[in-house]
Amino acid sequence: MKTEWYKSMAFYQIWIRSFYDGNGDGIGDLYGVYEKLPYIKSLGIDGIWFSPLYPSPNADYGYDISDYKNIHPDYGDLEQFKKVLDKAHSLGLKVIMDLVINHTSDEHPWFIESKKSKDNPYSDYYIWRDAKKGKLPNNWYSLFEGKAWEYCPERDQYYLHIFAKKQPDLNMDNPKVREEIKSIMRFWLDMGIDGFREDVITFISKVDNLPDGLPFIPVANGMPYYKDGPHIHEYLREFRRVCNEYDCFQLGEGPMTTIKSALSYMTGKNKSLDLMFHFDHMLADCIYTEYIQRPFNLRLLKRAFSKWQKALNGKAWNTLYLENHDHPRIISRYGNEHYHRASGTMLAICYLFQQGTPFVYQGQEIGMTNIKLKSIDQYMDVSSHNNYHSFHLKDSIEKRMERIHASSRDSSRTPMQWDSSKNAGFTTGKPWFYVNPNYKRINVAAEENQPYSILNLYRKCLYYRKNSEVALWGDYTEYYKASSLLYVYKRTYKNNQLLIVCSFSSHHLRWHNIKEFKGIKGKLVICNYPNPIHGVLKPYEARVYEY
């Protein structure tokens, strides 16, 4: 690692299929991205994370890759990618790619070869096992589609898939597979990209004998045997050496990761990742997955935020995010669709002033919300179907659809709402997926002109951060922890302080008698309402004081 430039950056995540269609076939693409780069830059963003752009049968929308060194024809080609990359760089934007190496598509040539026989050059690229006493090799469930094993008649064996059936897990214990990964990394780094977001990277090393999981853990019963597995650090160090040949950085996705485990990747002798996505703060309205819902609880959210802020301070660096392509929209979860603008801007302030590198997901900056489609057949996401068909089966269809409305990953995958014209200005053709009907009201063009729009508040916060040492580097202290309505924290750096006050209430709140705020003589630098009232917070009001 030559530099730590990623620490003062803010990233924008593009899930390309729904971003902007540049050639009118109804599918977002790199021609569209090229056109919209100045828009991204205008947000105060410094880098782009591309969700997978590679050829893929789209069983899991790009997270099932069939060719790692190419671009999906729906999105363009390598030449167009290079054009986007060069233009991004010329605007001062870094570019990171998704590296999905826990599994490939079952249509990847490696897998097509591997499944042919037990003795071909690729036979050991995946995790194959014989039946055990006439049954599956073990009792693991996949996270996306029933049992974790699929039978292959050609080999009379089963292959392991922790995700969907069309996502066979790679055998990372095979040194040839690791060489392939390194060659993929070099391919993109040589082209000039600046780093990788590494998909479920903590899952790539499995315990040798693949023991049965505990029967009472639903779905993730095998996780203790594939999360943070025995050789994980060794393999990641190998990949790190490749990255060290370039000025690039690595961000790992760590589903269900703990602080202890995250620190083991980001610090010390095993340091192999610069940043990690952790999930704790995404569980303030659900248990383990968004499909198992509970009412939103601000105290859970604050506890998760503060825990990571404290634990990583001075040791490692946080990622800050509220949305991505795997989670439903945040206003529909932690905010309030009836207070769309106010809660959307408050949520922005609540996380953008923490210590770490912020990520903004396409559409989050205009406050896109969940889509409510009538029937499960209209949903595209493999995990939504799995949830619908395997959990809470005693619930009525209406009840299950309610859960889908609140949890589906498709809510964050609807086309980006650019303006109020047909198809939200996303395409001149027929959009590949449903556009959220609220696009007439919620769109980029409409928000450009409103000074207090969600869009303009994101800009304000991102520009403020960049130019503020205390916002970038300050220590974090939480106040008023017991409150179930207010989230209050302070950042401190040298002699400068920022106080961030966020109301999660849909009512007016009197707050001048709260002792921590007595005597604040700070200057109000950001507020999501035009005329703040002394001592009173309006619904979902948020303020940033500098002093």
One residue of 27, 53, 101, 189 binding Ca ion per CB under 5 A: 27
- Say which entry of Ca ion, ligand GLC, none residue 327 contacts (CB below 5 to 8 A, set by partner kind): none
Residue 165 has phi, psi (to 5 degrees) of -60, -30
Q: Which of 93, 97, 100, 444 binds ligand GLC (CB under 6 A)?
A: 100
Beta bridge mates, 170: 126
Tokens of 420: 């109020």
Beta bridge partners of 276: 252
Judge whether 208 counts as a catalytic residue: no
Residue from 21, 169, 199, 228 touching ligand GLC (CB under 6 A): that is 199
Alpha-helix runs per DSSP H in 408-443: none
The reply to whether 326 sits near ligand GLC by the rule CB under 6 A is yes
Q: Is 21 in the site for Ca ion (CB under 5 A)?
A: yes
Could you give the CA distance from residue 137 to residue 482 in angstroms, rounded to a whole number?
Answer: 48
User: Cβ 326 to ligand GLC, closest distance in Å?
Assistant: 5
Active site residue 199: yes
Between 326 and 410, CB nearer to ligand GLC: 326
Tokens of 217: 């853990």
Q: Does 410 bind ligand GLC (CB under 6 A)?
A: no
To the nearest whole angstrom, how small is the minimum distance from the Cβ of residue 432 to Ca ion?
9
Site string for ligand GLC, 429-458 (x = CB under 6 A): ------------------------------
What's the distance, Cα to Cα, between the start and end of the chain in Å?
35
Length of the chain: 547
- Given ligand GLC, Ca ion, none, residue 27, with its beta carbon under 5 to 8 Å by kind, binds Ca ion
Comparing CB distances to Ca ion, the nearer of 29 and 410 is: 29
SS3 content of the chain, % helix, strand, coil (to 5): 35, 15, 50
- Cβ proximity to Ca ion, 29 vs 106, nearer residue: 29
Binding site partner of 200, from Ca ion, ligand GLC, none, Cβ cut-off 5-8 A by kind: ligand GLC
One DSSP character per residue, 16-39 reads GGGT--SSSSSS--HHHHHHHHHH
Q: How far is the CB of 403 from ligand GLC (least distance, A)?
A: 19
Other C-beta atoms closer than 10 Å to the C-beta of 389 total 12
**Residue closer to Ca ion (CB basis): 56 or 370:** 56
State the burial class of residue 274 (Cβ atoms within 10 Å of its Cβ: 0-12, 13-18, 19+).
buried
Distance separating alpha carbons of residues 475 and 498, to the nearest angstrom: 10
For ligand GLC, the closer CB: 47 or 62: 62
Q: Is 60 in the site for ligand GLC (CB under 6 A)?
A: yes
Selecting among 64, 253, 274, 290, the annotated active-site residue is 253
Rounded Cα distance between 292 and 497, Å, is 39
Q: What is the DSSP letter of 281?
A: G
Helix axes 298-312, 259-266, angle to 10 degrees: 30
Establish if 63 lies at the interface with ligand GLC (CB under 6 A): yes
Active site members = 199, 253
Which positions touch Ca ion (CB under 5 A)?
21, 23, 25, 27, 29
Which positions touch ligand GLC (CB under 6 A)?
60, 63, 100, 163, 199-200, 253, 325-326
